Amino acid sequence: MDTSSRHGIKVHAARFTAQAMQEAVRDAFVKLAPRTMMKNPVMFVVLVGTVLTTGLSLQALAKGQPWAYTLVVALILFVTVLFANFAEAVAEARGRGQAASLRAARSQLVGRRWRNGQFEYLPAAELRPDDIVVVSANEQIPADGEIVEGVASINEAAVTGESAPVLREAGTDRSGVIAGTTVLSDEIKVRVTAQPGASFLDRMIALVEGAQRQKTPNELALTVLLAALTLVFLIVVVTLPALAQFADVKIDVVVLVALLVCLIPTTIGGLLPAIGIAGMNRALEANVIAKSGKAVELAGDIDTLLLDKTGTITLGDRRATEFIAVAGARVPDLREAALLASLSDPTPEGKSIVALAQAQGASSGDISSSTFVPFSAESRMSGVDLASGRRIRKGARSAIVAWARVGSVAVPADLDAAVDRIARGGATPLVVADDTRVLGVIALADIVKHGVRERFARLRAMGVRTVMITGDNPLTAAAIAAEAGVDDFLAEAKPEDKLARIRAEQAEGRLVAMVGDGTNDAPALAQADIGLAMNSGTQAAKEAGNMVDLDSDPTKLLSVVEIGKQLLITRGALTTFSLANDVSKYFAIIPAIFVAAIPGMAALDIMHLSGPVNAVLAALIFNAAIIPALIPLALRGVSFRPGSAESLLRRNLLLFGVGGVVLPFIAIKLIDLVLAAVFGAR
């Protein structure tokens, strides 16, 4: 994943200033409000324990009884709650810098509305869907919309952070424009598509600030599990004094509170909100706007990726690589005819044919009086009619054969062999003919992007199946699929075929992701579980998808899947670590409570702590300190390596399960040694 600072949003995401730290500390206190705390059952129990022990310490002080120990416990519990709130506040603060730059992009926007043959200037907030606004060079686009007339170069740096201008044109799949971007050249008419306050920038700001962050299904399920565990331990602790009476052991309320706080999963309870927010932030650092946290998380569960060939798997600009003459025609004659047919062809393929022919010595002569015949979807060929009456055409084999037969031109017997050889090699065959004969075939190679094969192998190791969608014939599609390393392909595909394939995959119980940018991709983007729309695409595509790539890079979908996987793994790893911690804290506190009255409990006192008071304090201090210690890991995410579910589970159990048991033993013992050295054995 590219994390270079050339993207403005990435720079903001990576920077954590002193001001952001101050805001996070302030928000940690603001989140102490009971209504807010109740959303996190685990930390709400800790807050109740804090209030209870604080009240007990004040009561003891008023009666002249020992109160310092109770107050210290209350302070440690209070710090534990603050650290949990701080973890969430830090994750939210990282997004505020991003939101500030986005908010600046939409401020003070004014639109020049065209109505009844007249212009009127209106604040952007007063523009409504279907209004037509005119935007000229050096003016900002006031609202989200579609270009209905004109073509312009647009600077989208305010949104994407990318300084290179992009081209937007009416009637194409790149007609969508965003409020706050600047027109650099020409003049365009834009039809407004968004209500005030519901623009792309508004949604981005709300998502970045977390105002619309809803818990994902997995996060909700884990929250319920943590609440259930908390309830179980609460029942155990409440019934413990009655059980202790049989051993003539009296357990202090403060110790019971400390035991409860150490046994409930406070670590994951404190870090859970931060993990979800950080997942969305990591997507944003990759310049991907997720419309919900659910979309990021769902990306980690994807089974099938549908990818367009052109521009995603291949470079997209096919280049002429070879001239193959047929039926005894001379290669120089084929080169000359291909050159003449392509001199006025504005496409990258046409320009590459001209470059290759000229590099091999072909010349065109004077064609100023000739008529260029442009390519059309109906004819599937293009060419030139020379002033001499000679006609030259290049195009698909079937189109040229049909044209040649109309002109009573014989079709060479070896043409199909040449076409098949090129197609089997993964290139596209382009047949050339003139009035007198079919001359041969041009090979147009669609180059597979560097590193794509390795990325597909990485996805395969994660259990994700890749399917290439292309309009090429099956032979060409099969060759490119083999070279790129995809698992399957769909050849000669039409837009409706994408939708049908997604539904077929989902009918078999798979989660499907796809990428698209055109209006005709909107149904498939909406149907897919993860629909990644290109920022350069139409408004319909961006509305249909649940993610938008600001860089308009179709391969970004591969990174999105990895971000989702990392989010799920991070949550699972820290949950495992948190639950494993409870084992060590159990061995720290339980023996300290009962060993004096029940000598047999000494077998459990494997830590040999200096005393019951120090044991409780050491466990509480570790319980509080581990939350801020894990904040960087929660924000950054656990390092991710592709592998099977079994290998990932084994790694988590070994690293975070065993580590979660061993680390507290060591840390609590060290804290106890410090307490014993400072205050003595207690």
Residue positions in the annotated binding site for Mg(2+)?
517, 521
Q: Which of 570, 529, 661, 25 is nearest to 273 (CA)?
A: 570
Provide the annotated binding site for ATP: 345, 349, 375-382, 394
**CA–centroid distance for 16 within its chain:** 21
In a 13 Å sphere around the CA of 347, the CA atoms on its Cβ side amount to 17
Q: Give bridge partners of residue 384 from the DSSP assignment.
A: 372, 392
- Catalytic one among 202, 301, 308, 446? 308
Alpha helices in 290-431 (DSSP H): 293-299, 331-342, 348-359, 397-406, 415-424
Distances (CA, A) of 524 to 10, 70, 171, 468, 476: 30, 61, 20, 15, 24
**CA–centroid distance for 589 within its chain:** 43
Q: How many residues does the chain have?
A: 682
434 catalytic residue (yes or no): no
Strand residue runs (E) in 218-299 = 288-290
Distance CA 95, CA 16 (A): 10
Distance CA 455, CA 452 (A): 5
**Terminal CA-CA length for the chain:** 53
H/E element, 667: helix 659-679
406-436 burial, b at 16+ Cβ within 10 Å, e below that, comes to eeebebbeebeebbeebbebbbbbbbbbbee
Distance CA 77, CA 369 (A): 89
Q: Which of 476, 535, 527 is nearest to 503 (CA)?
A: 527
Pairing of strands 151-155, 166-169: antiparallel
Provide the annotated binding site: 345, 349, 375-382, 394, 517, 521
Distance CA 385, CA 302 (A): 52
Distance CA 25, CA 89 (A): 7
Could you give the angle at the alpha carbon of 212 between the alpha carbons of 207 and 215, nearest 5°? 110
Place of tokens 């870090």: 271
Eight-class DSSP state of 656: I
Q: Look up residue 408 and give its two tokens.
A: 């009573």
Q: Which of 346, 429, 358 is nearest to 395 (CA)?
A: 429
Alpha helices in 343-494 (DSSP H): 348-359, 397-406, 415-424, 452-461, 474-484
Dihedral, 434, 440, 441, 442 alpha carbons, nearest 10: -80
Cβ–Cβ under 8 Å, residues 323 and 334 = yes
Kindly list the catalytic residues.
Answer: 308
